[in-house]
Chains A and B, each alone.
Chain A
């Protein structure tokens, strides 16, 4: 039973198209994230939501729009795709409360290739 699941796992699309990636977690966590991992394996935070509210929005082009319909789901929509958007996008979640490790639980990633 997968804890953090993302769909689709692979996306190949043309420049200028719009695409969405969906994420769901069944861990009961309050906080969810989107990370981007580039070809050099550098993992960079994009967005963070806590209980459906946006709490972190790093310097990401506004072509990227996250949406959290409920605290178990965090989707990512990307408009007008560019070559530089090619990367692996990871969804993650973390449990609430002070004193915990802040451990992130990652999905398996969605590999986006823009041609």
Chain B
């Protein structure tokens, strides 16, 4: 079992839909949870960052962490074609080196 599991998709949704992206993990030492967005032929960029359990909202994006279930989610409201990208979850403990999920490919069609 990999330390971080993420369904690669692709996930195809119509414009305006609510998108839910998820990761599970096995390492209980993870405390910092991140979502990176990677457009085609580009490097990943940090989208959301959360410490420990709870929710964090930024515009149309909400990151949710449930440490008891070892489960994290990213919700995108009112999805737009410009949200089409690969979303990688990442997490770390005390080390500054994050462990990445393999990414979920999201396609938002007009």
Contact = CB atoms under 8 A, between A and B. Distances in A.
Interface of A: 4, 31, 33, 40-45, 48, 56, 90, 92, 94, 101-104, 106-109
Contacts of B38: 41
A101 B105 CA distance: 25
B93 to A, nearest CB: 11
A43 B32 CA distance: 18
Q: Give the interface size class of chain B.
A: 20 to 34
B43 A101 contact: no
B44 A43 contact: yes
Interface of B: 8, 32, 34, 36, 38, 41-46, 49, 86, 88, 92, 96-98, 100, 102-103, 105
Most chain-A CB neighbours within 10 Å: which of B8, B43, B44, B45? B43
Contact of A40 (B43, B44, B96, B102): B102
Contacts of B97: 33, 45, 48, 56
Nearest to B46: A103
Nearest to A45: B97
Given A48-B97, A108-B41, A109-B41, A103 B49 contact: yes
A101 B100 CA distance: 15
A101 B44 contact: no
A94 B96 CA distance: 9
Contacts of B105: 41
B43 A106 contact: yes
Most chain-A CB neighbours within 10 Å: which of B32, B44, B88, B105? B44
